[in-house]
Amino acid sequence: MPLALYALAAGAFGIGVTEFVIMGLLIDVSTDLGVSISAAGQLISGYALGVVIGAPLLTIATGRWPRKTVLLVLMAIFTIGNLACALAPDYWTLMGARVLTAFAHGTFFGVGSVVATGLVAPNKKASAIALMFTGLTIANILGVPFGTWLGQALGWRATFWAVTLVGLAAFAIILLLVPRGQAEPEKSKLSADLAVLARAPVLLGFATTVLGYAGVFAVFTYIAPLLTEITGFGEAAVSPILLVFGGGLIAGNLIGGKTADRWLVPSVLGSLVVLALVLATMTLALHSQVTAVLYVGLLGAAAFATVAPLQMWVLEKAEGAGQSLASSFNIAAFNLGNAAGAWLGGAVIAHGPGLGAVTWVAALLPLSALGVAALALRLDRNPAPGARRTGIRPLVTILEKLRPHKEQENGLSTSWRIGPEGSRAFIRRRHLRRLGTAVRRLG
């Protein structure tokens, strides 16, 4: 794999640490800034909101820039945002700095996915995306535990100082390793890019991402109480068990990338089925400590096995124009799924069947995503009448459907004959104009 992919992974590592490390520092932040733990927890929601809003806005604003320049600007925003977090004198300044940092998140992974696929052969595109996301998985295994330890030992600001240094290092690595010539944006108008987002398969791809990842975070958000209250682990055991989850993330990420390179659609459908099965059977597995640990690892693997296939699927549906924008929207869809899943899990605990039912309720979400994906595939095979078509294939289809209105025996036809069974074409000026109009409409 090209070294530039590892540069993208370095940026993903820093972003992953920033996103998740705050979860382990909520008590420290709330004590230092004089706010409640629930208010400190809103720093997580604020970040997710920043990703959802910032991804499309920054992608549109930088759409005509060279992609390497975009990546460097995003890492600069990321670094400045973390520096502002480290220096924040009060809660609302910290919230604003978190939102600013989040603006870089969605666009980095969106544009980074497009750059990654342009660095490799067509049969390795999903693996390239997976390699970039490996930085995010390593952040969960190594970066977040270390950042949590550092913040608890030296104060939460020390963690953000450290992440600022990671941002500077990632900026330098991207500057050195990502080639400029292979990272040029596609030549397209904003109207064409937005038209891509309106395609039914693209919209259904976003919906599949939201539903699939909502199932993951409906459980993962409450993994600590699930392990302590249902399985019976002590609180000190939760962090080591989460290392197993991180190992599953890496394995699932790489497996998802490899399978999507060879069988994209089966990978999308299969990963959602596996995720639903893991979530459903986890309800029983949590009642044994051994199987609970095993299933935490399986949850990580099943969760990230969906990432590269879903991202590659949306990129494929958006092929031709607006790939960066569609890719960034799909990253926002992942984060929207995170927020929706956390809300649903909380609702099940507070108002529904209770904590023990979270896993099987969560399993319904990837099953719903599977239904949406199946609908998208059906629309692909049977497009609606009048739907816009592009490319050579639709032109051939139109030409094949043109049949002679009438023929004259002397060969001077008033129509033209083209079809699978036709071997001659008699074209008059009027019909040439019709053909030209049809071709222009396709364009």
Distance CA 426, CA 417 (A): 6
Is-contact 271 373, C-beta < 8 A?
no
pLDDT of residue 437: 55
pLDDT digits (tens, 9 = 90+) for 161-217: 999 999 999 999 999 988 876 556 555 566 766 777 777 778 888 888 899 889 998
Least Cα distance to 365 among 340, 393, 394 occurs for 340
The terminus-to-terminus CA distance of the chain in angstroms comes to 37
Tokens found for residue 276: 């639903």
Least Cα distance to 11 among 98, 78, 80, 85 occurs for 78
Is-contact 174 75, C-beta < 8 A?
yes
pLDDT of residue 180: 76
DSSP code, position 124: G
pLDDT digits (tens, 9 = 90+) for 8-45: 998 899 998 888 788 778 778 888 999 887 678 778 77
Distance CA 274, CA 267 (A): 10
Distance CA 165, CA 163 (A): 5
Tokens found for residue 165: 């240094």
Contacts of 198 (CB under 8 A, 6+ apart): none
Location of structure tokens 């970039």: 132
Distance CA 263, CA 131 (A): 18
Distance CA 45, CA 335 (A): 10
pLDDT of residue 199: 75
Give alpha helix (H) positions in 352-406: 358-381, 392-401
pLDDT of residue 423: 38
pLDDT of residue 382: 64
Distance CA 222, CA 202 (A): 31
Contacts of 319 (CB under 8 A, 6+ apart): none
pLDDT of residue 254: 86
Is-contact 101 225, C-beta < 8 A?
no
Residue type at position 44: I
Give the residue ranges of the chain where pLDDT is below 50: 386-432, 435, 439-440, 442-443
Least Cα distance to 14 among 128, 156, 172 occurs for 172
Residue type at position 396: V
pLDDT of residue 414: 40
